[in-house]
Every structure is written in structure tokens, then in C-alpha cells.
Amino acid sequence: MSALYNTTIKWLLIATTYFIVSASDVLAMKIELAQPTFVLPQFTGPYREREASVAPEEYETAERLRSLLESNQRDEVLKELNAFYDIELSPAMLTLKAQVYFSLQMYDEALLTYQAVLARKPELVRVHADLGQLYLIRQDYNKAREHFAKAISFGSNSALILGQLGYINLMQHGAFSAISSYQQAMALEPDNQQWQQGLLAALTQAKMYPAAQALLQELLVKRPNDAQLWLNKAALALYAYQPADALVALEMAILLGEDNNKNIKTAAQLHLQLNSFPRALELISQHLKNTSLDMSLLNEYLLWLGQTEMWAYAEQLLDNVAPQLSALNNSEQSMYFSHRARIQQIQQHPEQAERFYAQALDKNPANGETLLSYADFSASQKHYVRAELLYMRAEGIDNNAKQALLGRAQLYITMKDFQSALIQLKRAFNKFPELFELKDKIEAIENIVRTQNQLSS
């Protein structure tokens, strides 16, 4: 791993020599991190004597129930406890009954039984802790928080309760309210990954980046093969506007098995911005292969490649997704062929560009963007009649009417047909009065037409 890490750093340093990533670019990127979780403890058996005492007359029953619990015969325990009225049971035995209900996922019965215990002994720590867990399962976070807080106020120093309180605060009340609880839970159980993850998330969300980075470094020493830790490192590096460091961390996470598509996409974007195009294309192809072909996603990747003028890589990407083309509808296939046409046009391959433009319009004759691009291309090739027809077709599509009118006017100017250009400019201004700049152009063309008329008379 160290060899790969060193190699990755080496080519990233070379890449950054030639390209500087802006803060706004970095902020636009996202790392998808695992959310803090809560884990319920296993059923732990009878109520401990230090919390509530079994009545003397219950000793024999308690020992028999203990034996049944040790052999995991919880149904038998419940059957025996149900033979008594709740009022006949001590708080300890009644709590045991609630716990058995809880362990059998009979949550409504457990809730009523716990509440009956608290009606008699409202300060019992274990009951508040169990109720907190029960409400947590039912996603009633306000009630869960209330009972966890009471358990702590009554003297609990359980790492589980502190950690679960931190989780609820993080989810419901923001990062700052969670940090202290997670820190206390970690102090009691420093190797508990749940508390580590929660504290790291809380510090990050609170924008306490130096503290989060210090904790993360400590955790990476202990668990260098944890992909989630490397993702956290990547996220912190992005917050600190350190794209090369973020990319190294992301690549380590990918090496360790990270396959979240959003993170693959972010890694590809970072590679593009750091000019490491072959690896970017590899990740883009991996992303597109692992998902059903999404034209909007493909458009985004092609836009990135276009912004860096890496047309050969854009063409290769289109080659890579060609086998999935049949999965697209006609409109999406039209966009695909339109991309191919524009790339061929930019690379000055007019015959191939013309062929792809024709395929794009064959798939969707109402593709306004393609009509305009094909018209512009035809005008540049001096195929004026075809360009005029394409502009006229595009003009009938609302979203493209403005560009079509202006494009056709420019075509007539290029052809020196100033009378027709004047008509088009006036039509454009009448239809789109916000185009104030057309006034000067109309006036200039009017002067040219007037002069031509005078010369010909």
C-alpha cells in the first residue's frame, strides 16, 4: 500500500505543478460519508440488584428465571411472569418482564410495562436507559433523548447511554450538542468505533477541522485499512482546499473497496481538475459501467472534459458507452450523436461531424440544440441553404427561437443579403424586446441597405 500511496502522491504533485484548483471548484465537490449509527445492546438478563432489589419472596422465582434466561428460554420466562398481576411483581421482576418483551420485539407491551415500573420507581437508571433504546428504535428521538438524559442525571456513566445521547443530539440538535457526549463515551470506551465515528462526524460538522484531523490521524494509525476513515480524510482535505490531498485519500479509499458512485464521481472530477486525464477517464468509465447509462451524468462528464479541451478523451468516453446505447431512448440517443458531431467538428473532421449530426436529427428531429449546432456548422462549411433550413426548423422550437433568429440573421450578413438580415433582426427584436443591443445593429444594417438602394437606383 505504501508504494501505491507514494506513487499516487508523486503524480499528483506533478499534476499540481501545471494546474491550480480554485476554492469554488473544491467546494462544489462532495464526499459521501457513512452516517453515525446506533447499535442496540443485546438482551442482558435480569435487573441488577444494585439498581432494584428482588423481593425476598421472589428469590426462588428469580433463580428459576435466571436459569431459563441462561438457556435462552425467554418465552418460558414471559409465560411464568404473565401468571402474576403486575402489581404482584417487584419493580425488578416487572423490569425483567419489560426486558423480555423488548427482546422479543413486543415493543408496545414493553413500553407499557416500563412505564408501569417508572410509576413506582421513577429514578431507576436502567429503565430510563431501556426506554431510551426503545424510543430510539421507534425513531421517537425527543422521547429517547428525554430518557437518556434522565438516566445520566440519575447517575449513569454508561458509555452506551452517553454515545446514544450524542447520536440523537447530532441528528436532532446539531454538532456542538453532540461533541461532549461522544467525548465522554470515548473516554470510557476509547476503542469503540461507533463513538469514534460519531465524534469525528460531530467535529467535522461543527467545522472544528484541526480537532477532527487530529482524531482522524490517530484513528488511521490504528486502522489504516478502513476505507471510511480515508473518505473522512478526503472530505477534510476538501474543506481545507487541498484537492491533491483529497484525491490521494479518495484513491486509498477506492483501493480499499470504496465503490459509492458519488465518491467515484468526485474522484474523477478531481483527476480532471488536476490534469490526470487517463485515471479520470478510467473512473468515469467505471462509474458509467456500474450504473444504468444516465445521459445527464454523461453530459456532465463531457462538459468537464470539454472545459479542459480534452476532446480525444471525450471521444474515447463516448466509444466506451457505445455498447449501452440501445438502453437510451431516441431523444437521449440524439444527444449522444450530437456530442459526437460536435467533437468531430472541433477536431476538424467535417465529414464525420456531418454524419453524426444527421444521425442525431434522425433520432430526434425536434432536437433544438442540435438543429442550431448543425446550422452553425453548415454555415461555417458554406452550406448556406442547408444552414437556412436548419435555422428555420429551430425557430419553431420555443426554447431555441431566439438563437435561431439571431443565427439566421448572421447567416444572411455572411451571405451579404442585408435586406433579409434586417428583416430577421427586426423580427428578433420585436419578439425579444430585452435584446437592446439589437437596436444599434438594426440601425447599422439599415444604413447599409439604404446605401445599397441608393447605389442601385
Q: Could you report the per-residue pLDDT of 103-128, keeping only the tens digit for each?
A: 778 888 889 888 988 988 888 888 89
* Cβ contacts of 18 within 8 Å, gap of 6 or more: 275
Q: What is the pLDDT of residue 81?
A: 66
Q: Would you say residue 15 has pLDDT above 60?
A: no
pLDDT in tens, 285-307: 888 877 777 788 888 888 888 88
Segment 429-451 shows an average pLDDT of 89
d(CA 271, CA 223): 26
Q: What is the pLDDT of residue 36?
A: 54
Q: Would you say residue 9 has pLDDT above 60?
A: no
The CATH class of 366-457 is: mainly alpha
Q: What is the pLDDT of residue 5?
A: 37
Domain coordinates in residue numbering, the chain: 32-206, 366-457
d(CA 364, CA 167): 52
| Cα 50 → chain centroid | 48
How high is the mean pLDDT of the chain? Answer: 82
Q: What is the pLDDT of residue 380?
A: 93
Q: What is the pLDDT of residue 16?
A: 29
Q: How confident is the model at residue 84 (pLDDT cuts 50, 70, 90)?
A: low
Q: What is the pLDDT of residue 211?
A: 93
Share of the chain above pLDDT 90, in %: 35
* Cβ contacts of 394 within 8 Å, gap of 6 or more: 368, 371, 372, 375, 400, 401, 403, 404, 407
Q: What is the pLDDT of residue 52?
A: 56
H helix and E strand count, the chain? 25, 0
The type of residue at 287 is H
pLDDT in tens, 212-248: 999 999 999 999 999 999 999 999 998 888 899 999 9
Segment 344-357 shows an average pLDDT of 94
Q: How confident is the model at residue 77 (pLDDT cuts 50, 70, 90)?
A: low
Q: Cell triple for residue 182?
A: 461522544
Q: Kindly report the backbone phi and psi dihedral angles of residue 52, in degrees, each rounded to the nearest multiple of 5, phi listed first.
A: -160, 135
Residue 443 or residue 80, greater confidence? 443
pLDDT in tens, 360-375: 999 999 999 999 999 9
Q: Would you say residue 6 has pLDDT above 80?
A: no
Q: What is the pLDDT of residue 68?
A: 61
Q: Do residues 132 and 111 touch, judged by C-beta distance below 8 A?
A: no
Q: Would you say residue 101 has pLDDT above 50?
A: yes
Q: What is the pLDDT of residue 61?
A: 61
Q: Would you say residue 8 has pLDDT above 80?
A: no
Is the fold of 32-206 the same as that of 366-457?
Answer: yes
Q: What is the pLDDT of residue 302?
A: 87
Share of the chain above pLDDT 70, in %: 81
| Rg of the chain (C-alpha set) | 35
pLDDT in tens, 171-210: 888 888 889 988 998 999 998 888 898 899 899 888 898 9
- Grid-cell match 490521524, residue found: 217
**Closest residue by Cα to residue 72 from 97, 107, 103:** 103
pLDDT in tens, 258-293: 988 889 989 988 998 888 888 988 888 888 877 777
Q: What is the pLDDT of residue 154?
A: 86
Q: What is the pLDDT of residue 41?
A: 44
Q: What is the pLDDT of residue 75?
A: 67
0.85 cut: is pTM over it?
Answer: no
Domain 32-206 in CATH 3.40.50.2000: no
Helix axis angle, 176-188 to 159-172, nearest 10°: 160
